[in-house]
Structure 1
Amino acid sequence: MASRFAAIALGHVAREYPHKADHVFNGPQDIGPHRTHHPIFFGSFDWHSCVHGYWTLATCLRLHPDIPQAPAIRALFDDSFTTAKVEAERAYLDRPGSAGFERPYGWAWLLMLAAELSRHDGPWAANITPLARAFADRFKAFLPKATYPLRAGVHSNTAFALRLAVDYAETCGDPALAELARRTAIGWYRGDAGCQAWEPSGDEFLSPALMEAECLRRMLPAAEFSVWFGRFLPDIDQRLPATLFTPATVSDRSDGKIAHLDGLNLSRAWCWRGIAQATGSDVAREAAETHLASALPHVAGDYMGEHWLASFALLALLA
């Protein structure tokens, strides 16, 4: 499976087109190929997918260093994670109009990548550190003024971003970010109860309900989380709300938005597995496996899903 995921990711992280840019044009000097602005993360249809494609490669390489793709991954990383290329990615953040670039989803994935690279020998982690610190600083500036959470099941979801950010903060030694992420998440979500789970929407790839639960599972002590979760979703033993136990139907995997629903099934599997471990719930464990089985066969086949789904499958499988 690691070899398969690595082959998928190698097939898109350096694929320059098609590409959907998150780019503010301040003048004609900003017109040009996106690779001039992003010498590392120019592939995979969009910047954030390229970042977590690299995370997929790094994770598979660490877990299974002898997969056939290992030499190609190491060569790619040696070429990509240089001080000059990292500085070019970091300098992009200084441009006028870039304050909201990839907030918060891309921020979180870049930190997740930096945390994974820190588990490898060699210069990759040290070289990417200035870019990681820049995004960590953006979280520290943004979270105190973010009065409300964003609960949509797409890139703006704040529970997902905080969940990844705290992994980086603990792994790479940023206690200030870890504390801020915890305090923010608990402030936003701790009072929630009786979740109605009005999902899925037609293009979600994150469960607003379960992502919130997974975020607090990561932030709270186990006993405290179990009490909170019992209030948040009090009827899961009756498999209610039923929508959370029913994998989403994906009617057209060539439609990039509809293909998000495969990601929803994978991210639900990830969240349900974490909930099952924290609570001992067999119902949660069964829901995880049902969702994983529904989506795992579809991580490749059409580029609209292929450029990102393996990362979410990997999150679920690692849970």
Structure 2
Amino acid sequence: MPAVTPSPETAARFIRIALGHVGREYPHKLDHTMSSDADVLPPRVLHPAFHGSYDWHSCVHGWWTVLTLTRLHPDLPEAAQAIARADETFTEDKLAAELAYLDRPLSGGFERPYGWAWLLYLHLEASRHDGRLWAARLEPLARAFASRLAHYLTILTYPIRTGTHFNSAFALALSLEWADTFDPALADQIRAKAATWFSGDADCQAWEPGGDEFLSSALSEALLMRRALGEAAFTDWFARFLPNLAQRRPASLFTPAHVSDRSDGKIAHLDGLNLSRGWAWREIASATPALAQIAGEAAEAHLAAALEHVEGDYMGEHWLASFALLAMLAA
């Protein structure tokens, strides 16, 4: 199943959506631990580069969306606006302040591991834009998060499998792509940890989704192993992990989630679950020719359930386009 470059119309729409929120400060949900009254500061002061999009990590992957689509469709009028906004955002001073925030004594767990992975993915995308200073200016922040991830992997005994921001497999799948380019030692560490945590998993029951999950625990794990293992090793592992896929079981993985209230930020996560499942199913389809049709049909069913809801309510609009784009680009 080949990747699908978003059409110019879709790219323009997604860029407009993302630019509408990456600079929107409020409403905002901080990941911020305070040690005194002096730490009571507005988001734009704490995070001069990434204070929009309701929360820090959504702002980061909102910018990933913008930069990715600007690279794919550089001639769009929206691309010129995006470049100007990026130049204003990714300045030395603003990114130095983001880096300094990590040095606060109580910031050790800031955005761990979801935001870390997305910042690495943003830096990787920025590195694909020749002639821009974005990657060089983002690299110190990326290196700082990579160092934190390397340490975290030495102390995290068990993987976190919940389908929310704490999911270990999702963070490692994004981080591995960055590490393969920028930090081979971290890439080796991620592959080793993936093997330790997941190589023995078999006959997955996929008891999902939970009521506010935007990731599939089962398919996030498969996505990581797809990237961490060689083709033959992944095929063998996947046959053990989901042995009844040809019979479309577990049924939970083939059933798009129902979203009852898109104005509720947590319940709106389920639109993201459908998009992230679509992304994972598309990558699995490309890696398992014998099951490509089944996986491809599952991907399309999940995407059909969610793509029309990428915008409309801010609780989803501030982040869903990123996951739609991941699915579109998957191959």
2:100 to 91, 114, 117: 91
Distance 2:80 2:295 in 1: 39
Amino acid at match of 1:301: G
Distance 2:76 2:188 in 1: 37
Corresponding residue for 1:131?
Answer: 141
Shift of 1:100: 0.3
Secondary structure of 2:77's counterpart equals coil
Q: Quick check: 1:168 aligned with 2:189? A: no
Shift of 1:272: 0.4
Q: Quick check: 1:261 aligned with 2:266? A: no
Q: Quick check: 1:178 aligned with 2:163? A: no
Structure 1 residue runs of 4+, over 6 Å off? none
Corresponding residue for 1:217?
Answer: 226
Q: Which moved more, 1:107-116 or 1:277-286?
A: 277-286
Distance 1:70 1:228 in 2: 42
Distance 1:293 1:186 in 2: 33
Secondary structure of 1:294's counterpart equals helix
Distance 2:76 2:261 in 1: 32
Corresponding residue for 2:5?
Answer: none
Corresponding residue for 2:65?
Answer: 56
Which structure has more RCO (C-alpha within 8 Å, separation ≥ 6)? 2
Corresponding residue for 1:301?
Answer: 312
**Superposition pairs of residues 55-204 of structure 1, within 5 angstroms:** 55-121=64-130, 122-171=132-181, 173-204=182-213
Corresponding residue for 2:7?
Answer: none
Amino acid at match of 1:294: A
TM-score by length of 2: 0.95
Amino acid at match of 2:154: P
Distance 1:93 1:66 in 2: 37
Amino acid at match of 2:145: F
Corresponding residue for 2:296?
Answer: 285
Q: Quick check: 1:36 aligned with 2:45? A: yes
Q: Aligned-pair RMSD on alpha carbons?
A: 0.6
Distance 1:142 1:134 in 2: 12
Secondary structure of 1:69's counterpart equals helix
Shift of 1:68: 2.0
Corresponding residue for 1:235?
Answer: 244
**In the TM superposition, what whole-angstrom CA distance separates every residue of 1:170-200 from its partner, at most 9, and x where no partner exists?**
23x2101111111111110010001000001
Q: Quick check: 1:16 aligned with 2:25? A: yes
Distance 2:287 2:28 in 1: 39
Distance 2:256 2:29 in 1: 28
Distance 2:266 2:77 in 1: 33
Distance 1:227 1:92 in 2: 44
Distance 2:116 2:194 in 1: 16
Secondary structure of 1:258's counterpart equals coil
Shift of 1:207: 0.1
Distance 2:300 2:279 in 1: 9
Secondary structure of 1:71's counterpart equals helix
Amino acid at match of 2:149: F
Amino acid at match of 1:129: E
Distance 2:41 2:278 in 1: 40
Corresponding residue for 1:25?
Answer: 34
**In the TM superposition, what whole-angstrom CA distance separates every residue of 1:42-89 from its partner, at most 9, and x where no partner exists?**
000000000000000000001111122111111111111111111100
**Structure 2: gaps (5+ residues):** 1-9
Distance 2:180 2:97 in 1: 26
Shift of 1:120: 0.3
Shift of 1:37: 1.0
Distance 1:186 1:60 in 2: 33
Distance 2:81 2:47 in 1: 21
Distance 2:48 2:81 in 1: 18
